[in-house]
Amino acid sequence: MLHFSCDVCGKDLPEEAARYVVKMEAFAATNPAEITDDDLDTDHVEEMAQLLNDIENGDRPAPEELPSCSKMRFDLCLGCYRKFAKDPLSRDAATRFDFSEN
Ligand SMILES: [Zn+2]
C-alpha cells in the first residue's frame, strides 16, 4: 500500500485525506559548461588532470555536483498546499519580519 506524508510538515496523509502534488522543475538558463579558448590552455588541462588524480587518490574531495536540471515532486497536505499556493517561494514569510514594527 502506498503511504504518503506531507513533505512540508511531515503529517501522515491517509489515502482518503486531501493530498496535493506539487511538481517543480529547475534548470540553468545559461550553459555554464561552454568551453572557451581559455579552458583549452595547456595549464588548465594539466591542472585538471592533477585535480582528477587527487580526487582518485582520495587526496581531495570530489566537488559537489550540481545537476543542470532537477525535477522535484512534493506531496502536500491541505494546509501546506494553501500556504504554498499563496506564496510558492515563501517570500511572504521571509519579508514579513521587516514589517513587524508597524
Ligand atoms: Zn503539511
CA distance 98 to 101: 7
Q: How far is the CA of 83 from the centre of ligand 1 (A)?
A: 9
Return the CA Rg of the chain: 22
Q: What is the pLDDT of residue 61?
A: 76
This prediction's pTM = 0.55
Instruction: Give 50's contacts (C-beta < 8 A, 6+ positions apart).
Output: none
Q: How far is the CA of 75 from the centre of ligand 1 (A)?
A: 8
Q: What is the pLDDT of residue 8?
A: 95
Mean pLDDT of the chain, nearest integer: 81
Q: What is the pLDDT of residue 81?
A: 95
Alpha helices, DSSP H, located in 18-66: 42-57
Summarised one tens digit per residue, pLDDT across range 5-34 is 999 999 999 888 899 999 999 888 876 666
Q: How far is the CA of 7 from the centre of ligand 1 (A)?
A: 7
**Mean pLDDT along residues 42-54:** 81
Residue 4 pairs in a beta bridge with 13
Residues with CB in 5 Å of ion ligand 1 = 6, 8-9, 11, 77, 80
Q: How far is the CA of 5 from the centre of ligand 1 (A)?
A: 8
Q: Is pLDDT larger for residue 33 or for residue 67?
A: 67
Q: What is the pLDDT of residue 44?
A: 75
Q: Using alpha carbons only, give the angle 30, 35, 41 rounded to the nearest 5 degrees.
A: 150
